[in-house]
Amino acid sequence: MNNNKDSMGKFISLVLRHRPEAAYIQLDEHGWADVEQLLAGIERTGRKINMAMLEEIVRTDNKQRYSFNEDKTLIRANQGHSIAVDVGLKEQAPPEFLYHGTAVRFYESIQRQGLKPMSRLYVHLSKDIETAVNVGKRHGKPIVLKIHSGRMDREGIPFYLSENGVWLTRKVEPEYFEQVSI
Protein backbone atom coordinates (compact mmCIF):
# COMPACT_ATOMS: atom_id res chain seq x y z
CA MET A 1 0.00 0.00 0.00
CA ASN A 2 2.78 2.38 0.98
CA ASN A 3 4.61 1.48 -2.18
CA ASN A 4 1.51 2.20 -4.14
CA LYS A 5 1.22 5.59 -2.49
CA ASP A 6 4.86 6.38 -3.24
CA SER A 7 4.56 5.52 -6.91
CA MET A 8 1.29 7.47 -7.15
CA GLY A 9 3.07 10.43 -5.51
CA LYS A 10 5.85 10.19 -8.11
CA PHE A 11 3.32 10.08 -10.92
CA ILE A 12 1.44 13.11 -9.56
CA SER A 13 4.71 15.01 -9.24
CA LEU A 14 5.52 14.19 -12.88
CA VAL A 15 2.07 15.38 -14.00
CA LEU A 16 1.99 18.59 -11.94
CA ARG A 17 5.57 19.66 -12.64
CA HIS A 18 6.65 18.28 -15.97
CA ARG A 19 4.12 16.37 -18.07
CA PRO A 20 0.44 17.16 -17.43
CA GLU A 21 -0.41 15.40 -20.68
CA ALA A 22 0.62 12.12 -19.05
CA ALA A 23 -2.74 12.36 -17.21
CA TYR A 24 -4.57 13.99 -20.11
CA ILE A 25 -4.81 17.36 -18.36
CA GLN A 26 -3.52 20.91 -18.69
CA LEU A 27 -2.23 23.30 -16.05
CA ASP A 28 -3.26 26.93 -16.00
CA GLU A 29 -0.64 29.71 -16.07
CA HIS A 30 -0.29 29.50 -12.28
CA GLY A 31 0.34 25.77 -12.33
CA TRP A 32 -3.14 24.76 -11.12
CA ALA A 33 -4.81 21.56 -12.27
CA ASP A 34 -8.53 20.90 -11.88
CA VAL A 35 -8.83 18.19 -9.21
CA GLU A 36 -11.74 16.36 -10.87
CA GLN A 37 -9.93 16.32 -14.20
CA LEU A 38 -6.74 15.13 -12.52
CA LEU A 39 -8.52 12.24 -10.77
CA ALA A 40 -10.30 11.25 -13.98
CA GLY A 41 -7.09 11.55 -15.99
CA ILE A 42 -5.14 9.39 -13.54
CA GLU A 43 -7.88 6.74 -13.71
CA ARG A 44 -7.68 6.89 -17.49
CA THR A 45 -4.06 5.73 -17.25
CA GLY A 46 -5.30 2.56 -15.51
CA ARG A 47 -4.29 3.70 -12.02
CA LYS A 48 -6.79 3.69 -9.15
CA ILE A 49 -7.32 6.89 -7.20
CA ASN A 50 -10.05 8.87 -5.44
CA MET A 51 -10.29 12.18 -3.59
CA ALA A 52 -9.53 10.64 -0.19
CA MET A 53 -6.32 9.09 -1.56
CA LEU A 54 -5.27 12.35 -3.18
CA GLU A 55 -5.87 14.25 0.07
CA GLU A 56 -3.81 11.65 1.94
CA ILE A 57 -0.95 11.96 -0.56
CA VAL A 58 -0.94 15.77 -0.26
CA ARG A 59 -1.16 15.68 3.53
CA THR A 60 1.57 13.09 4.10
CA ASP A 61 4.02 14.07 1.36
CA ASN A 62 7.47 14.12 2.96
CA LYS A 63 8.42 17.38 1.29
CA GLN A 64 4.98 18.99 1.20
CA ARG A 65 5.25 19.20 -2.57
CA TYR A 66 1.59 19.99 -3.34
CA SER A 67 -1.09 22.47 -2.36
CA PHE A 68 -4.84 22.58 -2.84
CA ASN A 69 -6.72 25.83 -3.26
CA GLU A 70 -9.16 26.72 -0.48
CA ASP A 71 -12.12 24.62 -1.62
CA LYS A 72 -9.91 21.80 -2.93
CA THR A 73 -11.13 22.10 -6.50
CA LEU A 74 -7.59 22.87 -7.72
CA ILE A 75 -4.17 21.41 -6.96
CA ARG A 76 -0.60 22.35 -7.90
CA ALA A 77 3.03 21.58 -7.13
CA ASN A 78 4.67 24.20 -4.92
CA GLN A 79 7.94 24.18 -6.87
CA GLY A 80 10.16 22.03 -9.04
CA HIS A 81 8.48 22.67 -12.38
CA SER A 82 10.14 22.33 -15.74
CA ILE A 83 7.18 23.86 -17.57
CA ALA A 84 6.78 27.61 -17.43
CA VAL A 85 4.19 28.38 -14.76
CA ASP A 86 3.98 31.26 -12.34
CA VAL A 87 3.15 29.90 -8.89
CA GLY A 88 3.39 33.38 -7.37
CA LEU A 89 6.72 32.80 -5.64
CA LYS A 90 7.50 35.41 -3.04
CA GLU A 91 10.75 37.25 -3.46
CA GLN A 92 12.56 37.17 -0.15
CA ALA A 93 16.00 38.07 1.23
CA PRO A 94 17.90 34.81 1.77
CA PRO A 95 20.09 33.88 4.74
CA GLU A 96 23.78 34.75 4.38
CA PHE A 97 24.55 31.22 3.15
CA LEU A 98 22.55 28.55 1.38
CA TYR A 99 23.64 25.10 0.14
CA HIS A 100 23.34 23.13 -3.06
CA GLY A 101 23.93 19.40 -3.27
CA THR A 102 25.11 17.93 -6.52
CA ALA A 103 27.26 15.08 -7.83
CA VAL A 104 31.05 15.04 -8.18
CA ARG A 105 30.69 14.30 -11.89
CA PHE A 106 28.91 17.63 -12.53
CA TYR A 107 31.40 19.76 -10.62
CA GLU A 108 33.80 20.58 -13.43
CA SER A 109 31.00 21.84 -15.63
CA ILE A 110 29.44 23.74 -12.71
CA GLN A 111 32.77 25.43 -11.95
CA ARG A 112 32.98 26.54 -15.55
CA GLN A 113 29.36 27.55 -16.20
CA GLY A 114 27.99 28.27 -12.74
CA LEU A 115 24.91 26.58 -11.35
CA LYS A 116 22.15 26.54 -13.93
CA PRO A 117 18.52 25.45 -13.54
CA MET A 118 19.07 22.75 -16.20
CA SER A 119 15.61 21.28 -16.95
CA ARG A 120 13.84 23.21 -14.17
CA LEU A 121 12.88 26.88 -13.90
CA TYR A 122 15.20 27.63 -10.95
CA VAL A 123 18.33 26.44 -9.19
CA HIS A 124 17.20 24.74 -5.96
CA LEU A 125 18.98 25.60 -2.70
CA SER A 126 18.51 24.57 0.92
CA LYS A 127 19.31 26.24 4.20
CA ASP A 128 21.06 23.21 5.68
CA ILE A 129 23.91 20.98 4.53
CA GLU A 130 22.12 17.72 5.36
CA THR A 131 19.30 18.40 2.89
CA ALA A 132 21.87 19.34 0.26
CA VAL A 133 23.72 16.04 0.79
CA ASN A 134 20.48 14.12 0.24
CA VAL A 135 19.66 16.10 -2.91
CA GLY A 136 23.19 15.47 -4.22
CA LYS A 137 22.96 11.73 -3.55
CA ARG A 138 20.13 11.46 -6.08
CA HIS A 139 22.73 12.10 -8.79
CA GLY A 140 25.70 10.03 -7.58
CA LYS A 141 28.59 10.68 -5.19
CA PRO A 142 27.46 13.88 -3.48
CA ILE A 143 29.29 17.15 -3.01
CA VAL A 144 27.92 20.29 -1.38
CA LEU A 145 28.41 23.85 -2.50
CA LYS A 146 28.13 26.74 -0.08
CA ILE A 147 26.37 29.62 -1.78
CA HIS A 148 27.10 33.22 -0.80
CA SER A 149 23.43 34.10 -1.04
CA GLY A 150 23.70 37.19 1.18
CA ARG A 151 26.28 38.71 -1.13
CA MET A 152 24.17 37.82 -4.19
CA ASP A 153 21.16 39.48 -2.56
CA ARG A 154 23.13 42.65 -1.81
CA GLU A 155 24.22 42.70 -5.43
CA GLY A 156 20.60 42.68 -6.57
CA ILE A 157 20.05 39.02 -7.49
CA PRO A 158 16.53 37.90 -6.53
CA PHE A 159 15.75 34.89 -4.36
CA TYR A 160 12.41 33.21 -3.78
CA LEU A 161 11.16 30.94 -1.01
CA SER A 162 8.65 28.31 -2.12
CA GLU A 163 5.61 27.31 -0.04
CA ASN A 164 7.50 24.20 1.06
CA GLY A 165 10.69 25.95 2.15
CA VAL A 166 12.92 25.48 -0.89
CA TRP A 167 15.07 28.49 -1.82
CA LEU A 168 15.14 29.29 -5.52
CA THR A 169 17.17 31.55 -7.77
CA ARG A 170 17.73 31.74 -11.51
CA LYS A 171 21.44 31.12 -11.68
CA VAL A 172 24.52 31.10 -9.43
CA GLU A 173 27.73 32.38 -11.01
CA PRO A 174 31.00 30.63 -10.01
CA GLU A 175 32.17 33.64 -7.97
CA TYR A 176 29.36 32.99 -5.47
CA PHE A 177 30.06 29.41 -4.38
CA GLU A 178 32.72 27.10 -3.00
CA GLN A 179 32.79 23.42 -2.15
CA VAL A 180 32.45 22.49 1.53
CA SER A 181 33.64 19.27 3.10
CA ILE A 182 30.88 16.86 4.10
CB 25 within 8 A of CB 33: yes
Binding mask 57-86 for ligand HQG (x = CB under 6 A): ------x-x--------------x------
Choices 44-52, 89-97, 108-116, 152-160; region in contact with ligand HQG by CB under 6 A: 108-116
147 sits near ligand HQG (criterion: CB under 6 A): no
109 sits near ligand HQG (criterion: CB under 6 A): yes
Choices 27-35, 41-49, 88-96, 102-110; region in contact with ligand HQG by CB under 6 A: 102-110
CA-to-CA separations, 119 to 38, 140, 158, 160, in angstroms, rounded: 24, 18, 20, 18
Among 2, 3, 119, 181, binds ligand HQG (CB under 6 A): 119
Closest to 132 in 3D by CA, of 145, 120, 114: 145
Binding mask 152-171 for ligand HQG (x = CB under 6 A): --------------x-----
Euclidean distance between the first and the last CA atom of the chain, given in angstroms as a whole number: 35
DSSP-derived secondary structure letter, 22: G
Among 89, 124, 159, 176, binds ligand HQG (CB under 6 A): 124
| Cα–Cα distance for residue pair 101/132, rounded to 1 Å | 4
CA angle 140, 143, 144 (to 5 degrees): 135
110 sits near ligand HQG (criterion: CB under 6 A): yes
Choices 4-12, 21-29, 30-38, 117-125; region in contact with ligand HQG by CB under 6 A: 117-125
| Cα–Cα distance for residue pair 100/46, rounded to 1 Å | 37
Q: Which residue is nearest to ligand HQG (CB)?
A: 102
Specify the 3-state DSSP secondary structure of 159: coil
Element (H, E) at 38: helix 35-44
The residues binding ligand HQG (CB under 6 A) are: 63, 65, 80, 102-103, 106, 109-110, 113, 115-116, 118-120, 124, 135, 138-139, 166
